[in-house]
Amino acid sequence: MIRILTKMATGKVFGGYAYKFVDGEPSDELKCGICTLVLRDPHQVTCCFNRFCKSCIDQIEGKRCPLCQKPTNCFKDGGINREIIALKIHCTNSKKGCEWQGTINETGTSIDTHLNSCIYQPVPCTNKCGEKISRNSLETHLKDNCTKRTVRCQYCKQRGTHQLITSRRHLDECPDLPTQCSNRGCNEKIPRRSLASHNETCLKAIIQCEYNTVGCNKVMKREEQEKHNEESMKVHLKLTKEQLESTNKQLKVATRTINSLQNQSIASKEVIKISQFAKLKRNKENEDWYSPGFYTSPGGYKMLLRVYPNGLCTGKGTGTHISCFMCLEIGEYDDTLEWPFRGEVTVELLNQLGDRNHKKGIISFDESTPEKYRQRVREERSIAGGWGIAEFISHDQLKYNPITNCVYLKDDSLYFRVSVKATSRTKPWLV
């Protein structure tokens, strides 16, 4: 017959004893007629007097003997059971080196008592990592092998489980992970947090000519810049002269325009910093961020900048862009100002590598703007979401651009410059 030895879903053992016996294989009269193993809780049938494990005979459907097929009953065979539990056996871990010998189930010498202290017995990891380890190897496992042991990242020194610290998730975010410079020809590895700073000085970085503002469109490696300047000195001088002449003309036009303005206005500028941008961007609730309030001018309107790091919850830019909105607040001088508010707000995301290539957006508050965004605010933060630009800048554009030598996100921070030009038809001296 086929041997049967398994465990039921409840954890109860099903089948006979499969131990290695000290005095050799027991006689057949001590073995189950179904699983053929040494009887566990032996029961004898009344028909042919064969013996079976209680768990084996319980699995037989109907009331017939599994050997002679006659109707039968069974009873516990206590005599045979005493003989069986006194049999001497080897430890179940004998192949691993355990030399213990004892009985199946006699007080003081039973296998169950021994296994509670056997150094070769597999036991669950106390860190609950899911593994079972020999009792004598548990300490080494907890120290060197357990996936849930506490370790420190060799780069950023953050502490956590071995499974977390060595995971792709942590390595993708570790700020001090040595990262290969992306500039071709540069073999340096730099901590991830310092990549943008490194690109500012990397000799292999692709940059524009420093005279690009006057018209030189040459693109080169930084290490070639000095040679280019020497070779192009005359060209640069010519371009600079032409630019100066053009600038002087523009200044004259601007001066005439300013002098001819009939509608007075005053512009204010505020530089606003957003720190810990990565944390704001990871926020699953897609919360928005508010700047401190500021006035458009002394005695003017009070406003604030509202930024959605992952775009609006619904609509354009969700998950791909930063959204920027301007909101009116309760101000100290609201009683003296003209309502609804009129003006133009210029929002610039600053390039942190130079005073050019800023990302600019203009938000107009005029007759085409829904009036709820221009009305006087009566309650704190009663701003109806603000008025602005849903797709101000994509997340991809925040990264370092070697062609324009431009980076908006640096050291996990963004800088916005907000310029407000408020206008008034009836009280221009107040704005």
Q: Is residue 208 part of a domain?
A: no
Give the residue numbers spanning the domain of 23: 5-115
Q: What is the mean pLDDT of residues 73-92?
A: 92
Closest C-alpha among 49, 29, 48 to residue 39: 29
CB atoms within 10 A of CB 97: 11
Q: Strand pairing partners for 103?
A: 88, 110
275-332: pLDDT as tens digits: 999 888 887 666 789 899 999 988 899 999 999 999 887 777 888 999 999 999 999 9
Q: Is residue 194 part of a domain?
A: no
194-232: pLDDT as tens digits: 999 999 999 999 999 999 999 999 999 999 999 999 999
For the record, the structure tokens of 144 come out as 């060197």
Q: At residue 171, does pLDDT exceed 80? A: yes
Q: What is the CATH number of the domain that holds 72?
A: 3.30.40.10
Percent of the chain's residues with pLDDT above 70:
90
Q: Is residue 167 part of a domain?
A: no
CA distance 244 to 190: 41
> What pLDDT does residue 1 have?
36
Q: Is residue 121 part of a domain?
A: no
- pTM for the whole thing? 0.42
Question: Which of 93, 115, 137 marks a domain boundary?
Answer: 115
85-121: pLDDT as tens digits: 999 999 999 999 999 999 988 766 788 889 999 999 9
Q: At residue 155, does pLDDT exceed 70? A: yes
Q: Is residue 154 part of a domain?
A: no
Q: At residue 426, does pLDDT exceed 80? A: no
Q: Is residue 68 part of a domain?
A: yes
CA distance 42 to 100: 26
> What pLDDT does residue 43 have?
93
Q: What is the mean pLDDT of residues 233-249?
A: 92
Mean pLDDT of the chain: 87
Categorize the per-residue pLDDT at 66 as very low, low, confident or very high, splitting at 50, 70 and 90. confident
Q: What is the CATH number of the domain that holds 407?
A: 2.60.210.10
333-370: pLDDT as tens digits: 999 999 999 999 999 999 999 889 999 999 999 999 99
> What pLDDT does residue 8 have?
40
Residue of higher predicted confidence among 172 and 106: 172
Question: Which of 92, 115, 138 marks a domain boundary?
Answer: 115
* AA identity, residue 197: S
Closest C-alpha among 33, 49, 55, 42 to residue 85: 42
* AA identity, residue 354: G
Distances (CA, A) of 31 to 38, 57, 103: 4, 13, 17
Percent of the chain's residues with pLDDT above 90:
69
Q: Is residue 221 part of a domain?
A: no
Domain tally, the chain: 2
Q: Is residue 313 part of a domain?
A: yes
Question: Which of 115, 141, 169 marks a domain boundary?
Answer: 115
CA distance 373 to 386: 6
